[in-house]
Structures are given as structure tokens and as C-alpha cells.
Amino acid sequence: MWIADKYIDHVKEQTAAHPGESWEKMLLGFRLNKLRTKVLPKKGISKGYQKLEAMMMSFVADSLGRPDSYVWGNIFAPCELIGCFELNTLSIECLSCYFSGYHLEDFFIDYAQNTGIAPTLCSYHKIFVGAIDSGAVPVPEYAVTTSLSCDGNLNTFRYLEKKKGVPFTFLDVPYRDDAASVDYLAEQLKEFAAELERRFGRPFDEEKLRSAIRIENETRKELMHFFKLQSERYYPGELISHLYMMMGMHLLIGTQEFLDLIRFMIKDIQNYPKFDGKKILWIHLLPFYQETLQSYFNTNRKYQIIASDIIIDSMEEMDGTKPFHALAKKIIRNLYNGSYSHKAEMVGQLADTLKPDAVIQFCHWGCKQSSGGSILLKEKLQELDIPMLILDGDGIDRRNSHDGQIKTRLEAFLEMLESGEKEETAEEKQKKIC
Amino acid sequence: MLGYICKYAPVEVFASMGVQMERIEPDVTNFNQAEIRMHPNICSFAKGVLEEVMSGDYEGVILTTCCDSIRRLYDVLTEEFPEKFIYMLDTPRITKDAGITLYEQRMKEMTRAYEEFSGRVFEEEKFCEYLKGKEEEQQLSVKNGAVNIGIIGARANESIQTILKENGANVAFDLTCTGLSRKILVDESDVMEGYTRGLLSQFPCMRMEQAANRDELIRRYVGSVDGIIYHTVQFCDNYAYEYAWLKDWLERPMLLLETDYTRQSSGQIRTRIEAFLESLAPEKGRAEKRRKGDGAMYVMGIDSGSTSTNAVIMDQDRKIRAFSVVRTGAKAGVSADRVLQEVLEKAGLVREDISWIVSTGYGRVSIEFADENVTEISCHGKGAHYFNPKIRTILDIGGQDSKAIRLSDTGEVKDFVMNDKCAAGTGRFLEMIARTLEVSLDELGAIALTSKEKIEITSMCSVFAESEVISLIANNKEKADIADGVCHAIANKAFGLLRRVGMEPEFMMTGGVAKNPGVVRAVEEKIGSKLYICEEPEIVGAAGAALYALEKYGA
């Protein structure tokens, strides 16, 4: 057993036995891992993804180490605005992933369920509620959540406000995409900025927000460029690399550091060989721990995830002259908001640009908005002649993912893709002969 | 006719245009269509609405953006019924002025869209007159002399109220989205704005930002009732947060009741509600005494479970005269007749010697010769206290369900929880696994004790767990180790239930699975305490039922 594994087991046991007494050890583990990703980066994956992992480890370890440096958010919280107050946004979904690094997900989930939280709730939320409610993880001064995409947001934050006294701002994201909605949300964002000014005693400088939006626009353009390159070249990464990328695009977007990384990746990828395997566009969460999916998508020359809708869930250029409206519009037009046809349209656009061979949607346990529309998306992709596979499981709780089922479905789907290609080649040959 | 589902839907706007408005209350037997069009893991109510609209005669449906499942329901409905008026009304979660302004604007857009669709015309004056004719209904009605129950939580169909009324309980208030009477504000200077303000100032549901105020409102209401039913819908997670929060401070007995909007679950719902009412009002009327010629008096308790039917005959001194256990066949009534004959024979008595018979268990209503029926939860409580008065927490694992019951020092049920529609953690699950391992049920427990390697069964669903076991067999794992892993999986489930009722010692285990030494050991390890198990753990419920029969006589 590796020393790291022993340490993980030790922290897990300690936390389960005495939640609240092992936080310093958990924190130390995050710091050591940060160091590890810098000094001894994971072998076999590309430099870009190594740097990305190191950046995300630092981001979380550094923030958690300074409790006054961050607020809790959900993954759609406006980190650009929060960043104007020199504060980091730690999303509860990502923190749950980090806690699962200590294999504590089952302990926290059971803890939450035993207090009465619904077993059918999203596992990310259950882990977070269990981690905080059990006292294993300390709380910050403030939090913010949006209503976007997930019913759990408002309820989880409200529950923790009541139980642990963490006040929060709630941003109500309207369903419809029109000017009235944008005004409504922009006003709330302004009030939120004023609230942060009051709470943290730092003045708000609109120019900072404008600058963040300029960087953000640039980042999004560069990322699309990178995705195009990733559909042409073999750029070894892991399932978790895409989650890190999603984290970056939601929690570090608008920072120069993250833009520089994407630019580095664009340069770096050009040193890699041509990719001639199957290109997969991934929809929704990636169960980074899942053995079968790891064996097919971690550094595999035959199958490469070229992009995911959770990484690039808003695609339009933002208007930097009206920063609050621009932020509001970005959130409202997010592909997870509104009707599923809006999402299908945006996924269609992505497919049009990146030309994937297939789409895989992972229906995460407890995520109603994703599961409920999966069949509609499949129909839409059928119209575009793109095969799609729906997998059921859990993004983080392995007890809800069944490897046998996932393996059979995935392998059958990949066989189907291969045989489809053979048929096509045969048809083309036939045509040439004719 | 237009269907609607949410209390924030502006029903009166349409009604004033002469449209018949129907609140959709799904009453379905299955989700066959919904699970093809949507996904199984969607809120049961949303699936029910889809089934209902597909079979009903609606001109259209007014939905609100109340939750993720309803958002997806809208997508499916518009796809299925492009010719109908399926409208998604974007309802703000903020009830301050900004929310009111936005909602008013949204409702006006909706009205225009409907005018265009139907050719009808909305007239503000008519609307105002219509509103004036509406009267606000009473929200709270406490009845003296009855058990008063309040209902809180997610939307609940009428079956809960019906069962309560059938059992003589009074529904003092219903704060679920469907139970509330509407709040109408008529402001003649700006009719629409006043109306919108009224709609958004209703008792807030969990999706609203203001839901924090619910605590105060609930606190005010609950003082007047004897108990609370907290209702949740399967795959709707929002209300469980509130239950988890309320149970820490609400000083009233509270039953958590999950339903799934199908008719199949009605038996389970009835058992839970009745057991809850029994725990609130333990005293019942007394019956006329009937004695055997020699002056002795006998009563019988009969427990009709899914796996076994058990009977106990008791005399007036609370002594067990005879008991019998038979396997339950396809018909509960037939097995009951068999056990009746058997136990009478053992006791050397005839039917006429028995003064009173109380039935319990899932099949309790199908036993025609019983004089009365009581739920198995109350009976297990009474039975456990009879066998060992120190018991405060019971774990009962039966064939098709498992439950944890907390008792007072006098043996009254203080709280209970049951597993839901899921075989994991039940006797059935063990049977399934024993079959897969090709051992008998008795052997399964015994071989688990000889296990050497620790194997963890991680799947929480019994079907998945079964295939996990098959994979373990394929990997040449030892049967004993797999059996032990399965016993621990059951113990983990049981631990969850025990935690939820509070882990007050001493502990007792009842039901057929208590005979399985592997499970007993695993549960003991998990709770860190010994389990008391009586000689025949399957007759605890029947003994409790017999005690109920004796109480009828004041014995």
C-alpha cells in the first residue's frame, strides 16, 4: 500500500469516528497533494492536463487554508463578480469531489440520509450536507447560490444557513430568456455586489469586472479553439481532467492565470500526434472513479473525450460595457437553463463545430433536469445522425453505479460505432467502384 | 378544459374567461408511458401528470417553473402534444416587488398567448368581478374530541385525508401545495397587480426564497394539533430538507410519509397512517366479555405477514397458551384459516372459546374471522414490551419490509420508520441471495459466521446487489465471505433505520430475519450493542395483537 493510500485511510477512519477533529489532517492532505501535482505530476497525461490539475489543487488547498479568502458558491455562481472582492468561490459540488478523495462520500451521504435528507437527492449535495452537518468541515463567512439548473441549490444553502448559520445570497435565475429576465437578474447581481461590499468592507470597482469579462471572452474563444484541436490530436488526459476543466471554466474564468493555461494547452497540443480514434462529446457529469469508463477514456488512443457541455455551458460573447447585464445574460442563456430544446440546440451547435463520432450522456443519480430530458436529446441527435448512448449511474457515489451495467452498455455502443464505420467504408468503396 | 398543477398558477384568470380549470391529481396504476418518455428517476408526481394528460381530455396544461422535474415535463408535453396549449409560466422565487412585477408581466404574456390560441378574450372588469365573488376558505379547523392531525410537506393526493377520516381523525390543516385554500387580493385600482401580489404571498412552498418564513407559520399551526404527517413524494427531494430540520425542534409527534402517486402503495400508506394514529390515541373502547364455561378467558392475536402467518392464544393472565407459525401462501385468508386451526388444536380449544381476535400485519384486513385489526407496528411495540420491558428500540426485519420502532418505558410507540418500496434490507433480499448462492436460507446465516475475508457489497439496490453477488461468484470468492458481505449490507440498511428513530438501548430484533445468526452478528457489530431476541421472534407481532385483544377486556 502506498503511503498516500495509508494516509487517506487514516483520515477516513478518523473522520468517521470523530468528525470535526480531523480537519487539519484533511487540509494537510490537500496541501501535500498540491505539492505532489507540482513536483511529481501524474505520468502518462499531457503537460496541459498536468498543469490544469496542479492549478485546481492549489486553488482548493490555498483557499481552504485561508477561511477568510473564499465564499461557498454553487457551480453557476458568478465567480467573476466575487473575484472583484479578492475572494475565491469554492463550489459545493467541487468540494464534495475533493472530500471523496478521502473516500468519505459514503460516510457523509449516510450521515445526511440518516438525518432525513432524501436518498434520491443528488449525491454531491448529500455529501456536502453530510460533511458540514457532521461538523467534519468548517464553514466560511458567506455563501451564494443561484437557482440555475438544480432544485437542490436553494434548499442545501438554506438548510446549512439554518443549521450552521452561514448566511447566503440567493440569485433567482428566471427560466425565460428575454430582456425582462436579464433586468431582473442584473438587479439582483448589483445587490449582491453591494452585499459583498458591506460584508467584506472592500469597495467594488466596476472596471475590475469589465476586465474580467474581457478575459472571459478571450478564454472562451481560446477554449473553443483548443476543443477543435482536441478533436484532431491525441491529447492524453483522464476523466477527471475534464472535471478540472469544468472547475476552471466556472470558478477561475475571468482570471489571466486560467487564460494563460488554455493558451499553453493550445500550443502544447500541437506537439501531439494526430488522433484517428472515436471522438466523443460528453454530456453532463463524468464519474471520475468508474473503472470501466476509466479504462476506455483515460489516455486511450482509440477513444477520446473531445469536449463536454458542462465545460462550455455558455458560448456567447459577453458585452463588457454593461457588465451586470452581461453576467445576467450569460447565466440565463446557460444551456442548463430554460427548456430542453434550448439545450439540444446548443449541443447541436457544439456537435456541428466539433464533429464528434458519438455523444454519451451520463444521467447522474438525483439529477432530474438531466435525466428527464435525455430521451429528447437522443431524438434530436438522431435527426443530426449522431449516435447517442445514455448511461445511468452516479457521478460520485459508487454505490449507485453498477459497473456490469455500464460496461455492457458502453462496450455494445462502441462495438456499434466500430461496425457502423466498417459499413460506411464498405459503402464508400462500393461507390468508388461504381 | 385546462389542467394545472401548482398553487401559483393563475387559475382565476382563465376561469374568468369561462374556461373550466382542473387541478391534475394523478391516479394511475403505473408509469409505463412516463418512463419511456422521461426517465424512471423523475419525481413520481411529474410522471403521474404525464400519464394523466396522455389519457385525459385536456385542451392544454398550465405549468409553472416549480422544479426540475416539471421543467422536463413541459419539454415532453410540448413534444407530445404540439396542438395543445402547453404553457410554462416562469414563476419567480422572489416575492418582493421585483418578483411581483416580473410575474405580472409573465401572466399578461400568457393571457395573450391563450387568447390567440383559443379565440377567447380576457376582460379585466369581468376578472375583477369574478375575484370579488371568491371567498377565502378557512385554513385551520380543530375539532374537539377527535385526534387532530396537520399535514405538511409536498403535494399530497386525497388518499391521505380519506384514510385519516376513515379512522376518525380530523384534518385540522393541510399546508401542502394542494391542500391550501387560495389567497385572493382584490385591488380595484390595479386588479392584476393586486392579484399577483396575493398569489405570491401564499404560504410559501420550498422553491420560494421566502420559504424560511415557513418555520414561523408552521410553529403557529402545529400548536393546535396532536400530530403531524410530513408528506414527501418519491424523487422530490425538496421537502426532505424541511423534515430533517423540523424533526429537531418541532414538539409534536411527526410521521414522515413518502408516497409515489400510484395505487400500489396504498396498503403501505394505510399501515403507516393507522399505526401513527394508534400511537397518538392508544385508548380504545372496551368490548363485551365472553368467557369459556370454566371461567377462563382466551384471546388470540394473528399476524398475517408476507412470509409467515403467526398466531398466539393468550389467557387473561397474559400467559401464552399456544402459538403457531405457518408459511403464507398465495392467499392471506387461506393461511389465516390454517394457522387458526393449528393453534386452536395446540391449545386444545375451539373457536367459540376465543373471546376476541385481533389481526395485524399486511394481510390483517383479509382475515374475516378477526374482530378488530391493529397495525403491526403497534403490535410489535406491545409484543416487544411484553417479552422484555427494558426494550426501547426494535428492529423488525420481515419478508417484505423492515422497520425500526422506538418505545416509551411503558411500551407505547414513540416513533417508527419503515423502509420504502425497495427489497434491499428485507428477508426477500436474503432469499434472493441465498438462491443465487445455491444455499438454503438457514445455511446462509450459518456460513456467514465462518467467513474469513471481508467483502463489501456496495450496491444499495437489491437487483444491483444480486448482480454484484453474481460477479463475486464469477471471481471465485468464497460463499461464506459473500454471505457475510450480504449480512453486513442488511445491517447497514438497518442501522440507517435505527439511527432515524434514535438509538436508545436496549435493542430487540424481531421478524424472521432475527433467526439468521449472520445478520444478527452484523447488526450487533454495527450498533455496538447486543440484540435481545426472543425464542420465537416471528410471533412478537401476534403476541402484541393478543395483548391488544386482552386490553379490550381491561385485563
Identify the band that residue B137 occupies on the pLDDT scale cut at 50, 70 and 90: low
Q: Which three cell numbers stand for residue A361?
A: 450522456
Look at residue B182 and tell me whether its pLDDT is greater than 80. no
Chain B contact for A14 (CB, 8 A cutoff) = no
Domain CATH for B307: 3.30.420.40
What's the rounded Cα separation, in Å, for the pair B304 and B542?
9
Chain A contact for B95 (CB, 8 A cutoff) = no
Minimum distance, in Å, between the CA of residue A152 and any CA atom of chain B = 7
Its domain, for residue B526, covers 394-533
Identify the band that residue A160 occupies on the pLDDT scale cut at 50, 70 and 90: very high
CB count within 10 Å of CB B215 equals 15
Lowest mean pLDDT: which of A80-84, A360-364, B182-186, B335-339? B182-186
B439 shares its domain with B477 = yes
Chain B contact for A400 (CB, 8 A cutoff) = yes
What is the overall mean pLDDT for chain B?
87
Mean pLDDT of A159-163: 95
B347 shares its domain with B477 = no
Beta strands in B177-253 (DSSP E): 227-233
Look at residue A429 and tell me whether its pLDDT is greater than 60. no
Chain A contact for B460 (CB, 8 A cutoff) = yes
For residues B257 and B180, is the Cβ–Cβ distance under 8 A? no
What is the overall mean pLDDT for chain A?
93
Is residue B138 domain-resident? no
Is residue B418 domain-resident? yes
> By C-alpha distance, which of A281, A227, A271 is closest to A46?
A271
B304 shares its domain with B267 = no
Is residue B142 domain-resident? no
Put simply, the chain B residues between 276 and 305 with a CB less than 8 A from any chain A CB are none
Mean pLDDT of B400-407: 87
Residue B39 to residue A374, Cβ atoms within 8 A: yes
Mean pLDDT of B234-242: 90
B253 shares its domain with B366 = no
- Which residues on A lie below 8 Å from B247 (Cβ)? 116
Strands B308-315 and B320-327: antiparallel
3-state SS, one letter per residue, for A43-65: CCCCHHHHHHHHHHHHHHHHHHH
What's the rounded Cα separation, in Å, for the pair A228 and A363?
26
Residue A372 to residue B105, Cβ atoms within 8 A: no
Chain B contact for A108 (CB, 8 A cutoff) = no
B251 shares its domain with B174 = yes
Output the CA angle B153-A157-A15, nearest 5 degrees. Answer: 105
How many structural domains compose chain B? 4
Chain A contact for B213 (CB, 8 A cutoff) = no
Minimum distance, in Å, between the CA of residue B34 and any CA atom of chain A = 10
B345 shares its domain with B375 = yes
- Residue of chain B minimizing CA distance to A158: B212
Look at residue A37 and tell me whether its pLDDT is greater than 70. yes
B340 shares its domain with B220 = no
Domain CATH for B56: 3.40.50.11890
Residue B68 to residue A162, Cβ atoms within 8 A: no
Identify the domain boundary among B252, B280, B308: B280
Per-residue pLDDT at B330: 74
pLDDT digits 0-9 by tens, A213-237:
999 999 999 999 999 999 999 999 9
> By C-alpha distance, which of B468, B397, B466, B385 is closest to B433?
B466
Per-residue pLDDT at B285: 47
- Which residues on A lie below 8 Å from B471 (Cβ)? 403-404
Q: Which three cell numbers stand for residue A74?
A: 454553487
Task: State CA B366 to chain mean position distance.
Answer: 21
Chain A contact for B475 (CB, 8 A cutoff) = no
- Residue of chain B minimizing CA distance to A369: B68
- Residue of chain B minimizing CA distance to A162: B245
B200 shares its domain with B309 = no
B374 shares its domain with B339 = yes
Is residue B40 domain-resident? yes
Sign, CA torsion B415/B420/B424/B427 = positive
Mean pLDDT of A183-202: 97
pLDDT digits 0-9 by tens, A100-131:
999 999 999 999 998 999 989 999 999 999 99
Per-residue pLDDT at B213: 76
Look at residue B289 and tell me whether its pLDDT is greater than 60. no
Residue B237 to residue A147, Cβ atoms within 8 A: no
Identify the domain boundary among B101, B131, B161: B131
What's the rounded Cα separation, in Å, for the pair A106 and B500?
17
Sign, CA torsion A43/A46/A48/A52 = negative
B22 shares its domain with B111 = yes
Domain CATH for B274: 3.40.50.11900
B161 shares its domain with B214 = yes
For residues B312 and B320, is the Cβ–Cβ distance under 8 A? yes
Identify the band that residue A403 occupies on the pLDDT scale cut at 50, 70 and 90: confident
Mean pLDDT of A196-211: 97
Is residue B115 domain-resident? yes
Is residue B140 domain-resident? no
Q: Which residues contact B453 (CB under 8 A, 6 or more apart)?
A: B477, B478, B481
Look at residue B57 and tell me whether its pLDDT is greater than 80. yes
Strands B402-407 and B393-397: antiparallel
Q: Which residues contact B233 (CB under 8 A, 6 or more apart)?
A: B43, B44, B45, B154, B155, B239, B258, B259, B260, B261
Put simply, the chain B residues between 374 and 393 with a CB less than 8 A from any chain A CB are none
Most distant CA pair in chain B: distance in Å?
A: 85
CB count within 10 Å of CB B441 equals 16
- Residue of chain A minimizing CA distance to B503: A114
Is residue B141 domain-resident? no
Minimum distance, in Å, between the CA of residue B203 and any CA atom of chain A = 17
Identify the domain boundary among B280, B312, B327: B280
Give the HSE-up count for residue A430: Cα atoms under 13 Å, Cβ half-sphere: 6
Residue B245 to residue A400, Cβ atoms within 8 A: no
B154 shares its domain with B195 = yes
ipTM reported for the complex, 2 dp: 0.92
Is residue B289 domain-resident? no
